[in-house]
Amino acid sequence: MVNALELLKQEAGLPGRGKLLPNRDDPNFKIRHRILDIATKQFVQFGYRKTSISDIADHAGIGKGSLYLHYKSKLELFLSCQLEEQRDVYEQIDQISKMPKKDRLKAYLECTLTFATSAPLSKALLTRPTDYAALINEMGATNIKNLSAAGTDLIVDNIISSANKELSLEDQKSLAVTISLLTSAIGHLPEIIFEMSEVQVKDFVNTLVSLLDHGTRNLKHT
């Protein structure tokens, strides 16, 4: 069974998907870590379309040509930033997969919903529809669909199937996709929505997790 981190590494190995940081003892680790840190801040502040490789290189204290030695395009750089942001949540999913089966779905929901409301780069992308559309266009809808399918299979195998075996495989996949879509939708919510409703993000996540977990435990194949 493929775990989440293995899947992330497989994604990083695909053409045009981005690069994971090398090990800390690699001579390129420090400069790539610096580039990704600066690039992430630039993408969050200005968006994908308005961020320039030149500005990132300037802030990193290197030449534009030197940056291209590490990342061949703005798309590869952005996707590399995204991979690093996702690494933590993938590690959490692997830990969740080792939990007692009855606790996995609730823990997964809490993990993904917390990520959706707090991950700076992913949230910034989702709240900028034109940037999101531009990225999909550059990556190609087919590539995104294939990556999404692999992620769905992982969640079904490691999380959902153990939580509700009465559901058919098709319904388990539908549930995984529904959770993914809900997570993306929440990622679109601007911070002001929470401020106006006077609801803390953590309380929102906890309430939503309880509702979803209770509902999915009562789901049966019909």
> Per residue in 121-160, pLDDT tens?
888 877 777 777 777 777 766 666 667 777 888 888 888 8
> Per residue in 4-57, pLDDT tens?
888 888 878 877 778 999 999 999 999 999 999 999 999 999 988 899 999 999
102 vs 14, 68, 75, 211, 217, CA distance in Å?
34, 47, 40, 16, 9
What CATH class does 4-217 carry? mainly alpha
Is the whole model's pTM more than 0.85, yes or no? Answer: no
Distance CA 138, CA 151 (A): 20
Domain boundaries, the chain: 4-217
